[in-house]
Structure 1
């Protein structure tokens, strides 16, 4: 594991001296190096310096590397217009390094430190390269929501270390305190985000640049799910008693947020709220504490990471041309960009879990686990699936059909880089379905 850490550490000075495309190449190289270094077995591998990697960590790290590589590919305008792109590269490498260390740490305190460090580059991406002046407010929302709930977690970790004298994930078992459970898990509920503590997410997405939106949707929301899965064994006793409360919140919240999606006029806001609805489903699956629930939530997190990131790329491609995210202005793209409309159709279909996407597999497994937990969940799941289809088709039909906005001028259909970017989102989304049996090994 340390070889990847050193690889990324030596990439930091390169960000200031080398070309934009050399850095892009190195990001893809580290992704493929990591992909081919893994052996698919039941054990934690590459254990060194409190770092290790099982299949859950491996999938999350691979998702982080891949999304970070695609973020650079999507941010070519920074390079062309010379908008502090060297600093952008520096922030990107720091972000990738902190995410790698977060997902691979075996110690709870090291996990906590890098979990919080990964917030700082994300904040810089929103405040530094966002579009409107309101990005400062969005950044503060993100910062205070996260920091307010992270302090109780730190206190809980000190308390645990004082009592147990160890903070390794694999040695902590059967903590039976509601207070510790809430202190530790509240951080992950905010990061997921759970309904009631989700207000920072649409704000952050709307104000962030394309790279900020991609990392938020693709990886940052998965930190919450990863933390909950990792600590589920620790809180098994108390979880059996109170997890049903969070299942109710996630199910009802998912339905309400799906309804909110349908009345959004801002493209980015709609995709952000759909992320909240999908992560509500993931949270429900994790809280069932069943094998199917965990398997489904891992599959859903991966699928959502690629799918929502791709949708944000598509919305940015239109924003770069029309300079608006409003669904009332962005219309008739089927006439102007027919090739891009294919990608719009595919991503909107995958967002509503149409076959053969990974989203469908995740949703089927999560529906199984939630209905077997309680048959009352069936109603909420039916509504969420239906409204998921409604807002996905709403997004597609509003943006692709209708009369072209008369203020559009100097329009070009799309460049190879944009099609490559969208294909690299779509390819793993369809490819992972064919090898889905590997995703269940870690449980």
Structure 2
């Protein structure tokens, strides 16, 4: 683990010192090598400094795997930038990956909090410096304020628990007696920061703005990794804080399930392609929040499967949206129609990715949602109505997105480049591991 951590950290000075001609080649090769070497971590090991288990390993491998894909996705746009901006961009991406890695490897709550907050800085730099529109500063402000305001209670709760245990709080259940009111405040303080990062519906306003304004690499990391930090933090809090009844989480459960339905309905009226994909992430993460708060084995397994599957699927959708944007210079659904006649192979990728977003069996998305549905139904049979409605609307907006972008006659008479090998490689590297894990879900569970 230390070898992987040091290797990813040393990639930052490497990007700043490389010659311009080999900058992208070396960085891509280096990150691909790291992603392959990270597969050796599939068998969790632990030492006195860093910690890996069956909860952190799948998400850590996902973050390592997506680093080279973000570099490949950005290459088309960033190649036109000055060399200094390219170096800074790659350094920000690698720094963000280093902070994410240390978050998943943390063995106590204090280190996890520090690294969790450290991801804010490079993400903010990527959004505000390389965003595509003038509103990127507003998006960065929303992202910073939501994160900082909800992280303050988490800091206070962390300090309280450190004083309670006289040491940085490890991920094991606190046995010291705590009165009921203090326990309730601890739960709310700790969960608020992670529910905002997921995000829970009502605390989600920063996410569509950040996605729409961020460059493609920022959108991929936001959807695939940073949202999963919220789910990972919630699971760790369930392990650390004193156990409590599920009834205390009833407001979060109801808001998560209803929020999933409302986010899906919002997807149906979106005209911006990236905004639509962002709201779909809100709906999927609502299911993850509901399953984690049930505190059951099936719920936890379903949450882990859906987080990994959504990481690949949403990142692939943003890659396809970027492929369309680079050719049409617009993300308006009605203006990007008719691409089936021009880019038929890209349409095949669109169809496969949308089917995975719908959770078509026997994909990993389907397995995760099936476990979540079973856990929710076992807890309260009425939840199957909300879950079924959410699935129905998900299928509706996914098919709407596919038909709007691919079918019909093109409205814009622009010269269109054919899809590049780099873009097909990106999609293959998204779909292949997802399909392989779908055939053997034990790798994630």
Instruction: Determine the C-alpha separation between the residues in 2 that align with 1:424 and 1:71.
Output: 11
Structure 1 residues 48, 29: CA separation in 2 closer, same or farther (over 3 Å shift)? farther
Of residues 346-355 and 164-173 in structure 1, the stretch that sits farther from structure 2 once superposed is: 164-173
Structure 1 residue 48: Cα displacement:
3.7
- Structure 2 residue aligned with 1:146: 147
Instruction: Determine the C-alpha separation between the residues in 2 that align with 1:239 and 1:145.
Output: 28
Matched, 1:130 2:136: no
SS of structure 2 residue aligned to 1:46: coil
Of the candidates 31, 34, 39, which is equivalent to residue 35 of structure 2?
Answer: 31
- 1:238-257 residue pairs with structure 2 within 5 A? 238-257=244-263
Kindly tell me the number of residue pairs found equivalent between the two proteins: 434
Instruction: Determine the C-alpha separation between the residues in 1 that align with 2:286 and 2:242.
Output: 20
Structure 1 residues 154, 416: CA separation in 2 closer, same or farther (over 3 Å shift)? same
Work out whether residues 41 and 57 of structure 2, in 8 Å CA contact, stay in contact via their aligned partners in 1. Answer: no
Of residues 14-23 and 383-392 in structure 1, the stretch that sits farther from structure 2 once superposed is: 14-23
Runs of 4+, deviation exceeding 6 Å? none
- Pairwise CA RMSD: 1.3
Work out whether residues 42 and 58 of structure 2, in 8 Å CA contact, stay in contact via their aligned partners in 1. Answer: no
Structure 1 residue 173: Cα displacement:
4.6
Work out whether residues 300 and 363 of structure 1, in 8 Å CA contact, stay in contact via their aligned partners in 2. Answer: yes
Instruction: Determine the C-alpha separation between the residues in 1 that align with 2:441 and 2:139.
Output: 37
What whole-Å deviation, never above 9, does each CA across 1:71-98 have from its counterpart, x for those lacking one? Answer: 0010112442134111111111111110
Structure 1 residues 74, 173: CA separation in 2 closer, same or farther (over 3 Å shift)? farther
Instruction: Determine the C-alpha separation between the residues in 2 that align with 1:145 and 1:96.
Output: 21
Instruction: Determine the C-alpha separation between the residues in 1 that align with 2:215 and 2:175.
Output: 42
Of the candidates 420, 428, 432, which is equivalent to residue 433 of structure 2?
Answer: 428
Instruction: Determine the C-alpha separation between the residues in 2 that align with 1:304 and 1:216.
Output: 12
Of residues 167-176 and 107-116 in structure 1, the stretch that sits farther from structure 2 once superposed is: 167-176
- Structure 2 residue aligned with 1:7: 7
- 1:313-324 residue pairs with structure 2 within 5 A? 313-324=319-330
Work out whether residues 99 and 115 of structure 2, in 8 Å CA contact, stay in contact via their aligned partners in 1. Answer: yes
Instruction: List runs of 5+ in structure 2 lacking aligned partners.
Output: none
Structure 1 residues 47, 421: CA separation in 2 closer, same or farther (over 3 Å shift)? same
Of residues 267-276 and 229-238 in structure 1, the stretch that sits farther from structure 2 once superposed is: 229-238
Instruction: Determine the C-alpha separation between the residues in 2 that align with 1:99 and 1:414.
Output: 32
SS of structure 1 residue aligned to 2:133: coil
Of residues 270-279 and 2-11 in structure 1, the stretch that sits farther from structure 2 once superposed is: 2-11
Instruction: Determine the C-alpha separation between the residues in 2 that align with 1:436 and 1:173.
Output: 34
Work out whether residues 78 and 86 of structure 2, in 8 Å CA contact, stay in contact via their aligned partners in 1. Answer: yes
SS of structure 1 residue aligned to 2:107: coil
- 1:323-338 residue pairs with structure 2 within 5 A? 323-338=329-344
Of the candidates 268, 271, 279, which is equivalent to residue 273 of structure 1?
Answer: 279
- Structure 2 residue aligned with 1:58: 57
Of residues 352-361 and 186-195 in structure 1, the stretch that sits farther from structure 2 once superposed is: 352-361
Structure 1 residues 250, 364: CA separation in 2 closer, same or farther (over 3 Å shift)? same
Work out whether residues 78 and 85 of structure 1, in 8 Å CA contact, stay in contact via their aligned partners in 2. Answer: no
Of residues 72-81 and 127-136 in structure 1, the stretch that sits farther from structure 2 once superposed is: 72-81
- 1:115-264 residue pairs with structure 2 within 5 A? 115-166=116-167, 167-170=169-172, 172-173=174-175, 177-264=183-270
Matched, 1:77 2:44: no
Work out whether residues 73 and 423 of structure 2, in 8 Å CA contact, stay in contact via their aligned partners in 1. Answer: yes
- Structure 2 residue aligned with 1:288: 294
Structure 1 residue 240: Cα displacement:
2.8
Instruction: Determine the C-alpha separation between the residues in 2 that align with 1:356 and 1:203.
Output: 33
What whole-Å deviation, never above 9, does each CA across 1:81-140 have from its counterpart, x for those lacking one? Answer: 134111111111111110000001011011000000011111111111110010000010
Structure 1 residue 238: Cα displacement:
2.9
Instruction: Determine the C-alpha separation between the residues in 2 that align with 1:88 and 1:172.
Output: 41
Instruction: Determine the C-alpha separation between the residues in 2 that align with 1:46 and 1:224.
Output: 23
Structure-2-length-normalised TM-score: 0.95
Structure-1-length-normalised TM-score: 0.95
Instruction: Determine the C-alpha separation between the residues in 1 that align with 2:90 and 2:48.
Output: 28
Instruction: Determine the C-alpha separation between the residues in 2 that align with 1:239 and 1:189.
Output: 19
Instruction: Determine the C-alpha separation between the residues in 2 that align with 1:302 and 1:165.
Output: 35
SS of structure 2 residue aligned to 1:412: coil
Instruction: Determine the C-alpha separation between the residues in 2 that align with 1:71 and 1:25.
Output: 13
Instruction: Determine the C-alpha separation between the residues in 2 that align with 1:180 and 1:387.
Output: 36
Instruction: List runs of 5+ in structure 1 lacking aligned partners.
Output: none
Work out whether residues 91 and 121 of structure 1, in 8 Å CA contact, stay in contact via their aligned partners in 2. Answer: yes
Instruction: Determine the C-alpha separation between the residues in 2 that align with 1:294 and 1:232.
Output: 11
Structure 1 residues 203, 79: CA separation in 2 closer, same or farther (over 3 Å shift)? closer
- Structure 1 residue aligned with 2:419: 414
Matched, 1:16 2:21: no
